[in-house]
Amino acid sequence: MISKTKSGLFIREDKNLGLMVYSPYTGLFFCCVEEEKEMKHLLFWLNGKTKEPLSDKYLQSIGAGWCYPRDKVRHHGTYVLSTKNEGIQRWPEKPLLVNWIITGQCNYHCIYCYAQDLMHQHQKEPEKGLVLQTAENILSYSPLAVVLTGGEPLCSPNLDVVIKTLHNKTGIIIDTNGSLVSKNHVDLFKKYNIFVRVSLDSEQPRKNQILRPSRNEKNTLEKALHCIKLCNDADVPVGVQTVITRKNMSDVISIRDTLHRIGGVKIWRLLLLTEHSAFPSYKQWKPNEKRFYQKIAKEVKSGSDNTMSIQIVHSNAPDAVILVSQNGHFMTEKEGGKIPIDKNSSYKPSLQSFKDVIDRAAHLNRYLNSTDIPATYIGK
């Protein structure tokens, strides 16, 4: 069962892993591997019953935003915490995060869009009753956080009801292109403790426009940067996501420098282009993964001041992701396209089907940042 602590963090005990934590202050996930005595102290601290953290490692990670200044945090590698430096060898019983496609509407038409086969031309906007039932189904698995995505989630007529239904029951993350964000949206994000992730693929306006073209906007980079500024000004925690393709791989270092310069970005997630059924041009856009991991990924990390968490998420395991479509079906991606997680119960899969269909090791690594170098590149 997931619960919200007095400190505002979402926690869940997992018999395989220990205490799993999601922080809406930083948008980060943590695994706390401790013995019973230390775990009791940790829970007391998270619920305000003691002011003493287990260690500085805890203070500067899951303490950020409520008892430690976020601007003083320095991020270092993995997010497995322990006073004994224990590793993790097992995988979660339940999903850590669920991606809910709340709408198929979008004002951009990115050529590599992962949800293209679920856009509005294929599925209608759900009625309120279905939205509420889908939320209930998602919450039954006790995810630490739910990502509201699309399409562009700010296009959804159900955005408010979705947020209010999930509030205080799980962490909420919104993935947005940033173009539609208004002050009212930012006020909504602040009120409901939402972490905002903005898509940005190049610091060059013309190139970002090519990679993330809009039907209406002439400068999609400017819109993304404006969204980041609005969130920063309102003290709404914000991150950035960049999809790495052949066309923007050489821009990665300059994107990092731009994000450092503007400040306030808590997470920068780099996702290598994913092959999927709605993207027939994948091979033309596919980046050189060997070059990326051997050279660029190292330069990104070595040149960072660690003020933002840099998470490099490789695309070798598309079945690490749990998707819920706007009509309520739980899915993942396998070779040949998106498939239901449970063929017999696509609206509410059995826990056994998650274990059978989802790559749980990759699912864990994706959100804990346990490794950012695929095994094929380690040591080469």
- Helix/strand/coil (H, E, C) string of the chain? CCEECCCCCEEEEECCCEEEEEECCCCEEEEECCCHHHHHHHHHHHCCCCCCCCCHHHHCCCCECCCECHHHCCCCCCCEECCCCCCCCCCCCCCCEEEEECCCCCCECCCCCCCHHHCCCCCCCCCHHHHHHHHHHHHCCCCCEEEEECCCHHHCCCHHHHHHHHCCCCEEEEEECCCCCCHHHHHHHHHCCCEEEEECCCCCHHHHHHHCCECCCCCHHHHHHHHHHHHHHCCCCEEEEEEECCCCHHHHHHHHHHHHHHCCEEEEEEEECCCCCCCCCHHHHCCCHHHHHHHHHHHHHHCCCCCCEEEEECCCCHHHCCEECCCCCEEEEECCEEEECCCCCCCCCCHHHHHHHCCHHHHHHHHHCCCCCCHHHCCC
Together in a domain, 28 and 159: no
Mean pLDDT of the chain: 90
Boundary-marking domain end, from 26, 55, 81: 81
Q: Per the domain annotation, does 251 fall within a domain? A: yes
Q: Per the domain annotation, does 89 fall within a domain? A: no
Q: Which residues pair with 243 in a beta bridge?
A: 271
Q: Summarize the confidence of residues 286-299 as an average pLDDT.
A: 88
Boundary-marking domain end, from 48, 81, 114: 81
Together in a domain, 117 and 147: yes
pLDDT digits over 30-50, tens only? 999 999 999 999 999 999 999
Tokens of 249: 């791989």
Does 372 score more than 60 pLDDT?
Answer: no
How far apart are alpha carbons 99 and 112 in whole angstroms? 18
pLDDT digits over 196-210, tens only? 999 999 999 999 999
Q: Per the domain annotation, does 380 fall within a domain? A: no
How far apart are alpha carbons 80 and 40 in whole angstroms? 18
Assess contact for 83 and 38: CB atoms under 8 A.
yes
Q: Per the domain annotation, does 196 fall within a domain? A: yes
Backbone phi and psi for residue 333, each to the nearest 5 degrees, phi listed first: -105, 130
Together in a domain, 268 and 356: yes
Together in a domain, 189 and 275: yes
Together in a domain, 209 and 265: yes
Per-residue pLDDT, 120: 63
Q: Are strands 195-199 and 18-23 parallel, antiparallel or unpaired?
A: unpaired
Per-residue pLDDT, 12: 97
Together in a domain, 74 and 120: no
Assess contact for 293 and 373: CB atoms under 8 A.
yes
Confidence of residue 374 (pLDDT cuts 50, 70, 90): very low
Per-residue pLDDT, 362: 87
* Of 51-55, 318-322, 326-330, minimum mean pLDDT range: 318-322
pLDDT digits over 138-156, tens only? 999 999 999 999 999 999 9
Domain holding 309: CATH number? 3.20.20.70
Does 102 score more than 90 pLDDT?
Answer: yes
Q: Per the domain annotation, does 72 fall within a domain? A: yes
Question: How many other C-beta atoms lie within 10 A of the C-beta of residue 250?
Answer: 11
Together in a domain, 42 and 150: no
Residue in 237, 314, 211, 297 with CA at minimum distance from that of residue 9:
237
Together in a domain, 226 and 193: yes
Confidence of residue 277 (pLDDT cuts 50, 70, 90): low
Boundary-marking domain end, from 39, 56, 81: 81
Q: Summarize the confidence of residues 101-115 as an average pLDDT.
A: 88
Q: Per the domain annotation, does 375 fall within a domain? A: no
Does 373 score more than 50 pLDDT?
Answer: no
What range does the domain containing 11 cover? 3-81
Q: Per the domain annotation, does 87 fall within a domain? A: no
Q: Per the domain annotation, does 92 fall within a domain? A: no
pLDDT digits over 182-201, tens only? 999 999 999 999 999 999 99
How far apart are alpha carbons 227 and 240 in whole angstroms? 11
pLDDT digits over 231-271, tens only? 999 999 999 999 999 999 999 999 999 999 999 999 999 98
Confidence of residue 352 (pLDDT cuts 50, 70, 90): very high
Does 378 score more than 60 pLDDT?
Answer: no
Side by side, the strands of the sheet bearing 10-14 are 3-4, 10-14, 18-23, 28-32, 80-81
Assess contact for 281 and 341: CB atoms under 8 A.
no
Does 175 score more than 90 pLDDT?
Answer: yes
Question: How many other C-beta atoms lie within 10 A of the C-beta of residue 247?
Answer: 16
Together in a domain, 220 and 271: yes
Domains in the chain, number? 2
Together in a domain, 55 and 110: no
Does 319 score more than 50 pLDDT?
Answer: yes
Confidence of residue 314 (pLDDT cuts 50, 70, 90): low
Per-residue pLDDT, 368: 86
Q: Summarize the confidence of residues 349-372 as an average pLDDT.
A: 86
Together in a domain, 170 and 45: no
Together in a domain, 223 and 314: yes
Q: Summarize the confidence of residues 280-302 as an average pLDDT.
A: 87
Confidence of residue 4 (pLDDT cuts 50, 70, 90): very high
Whether pTM exceeds 0.75: yes
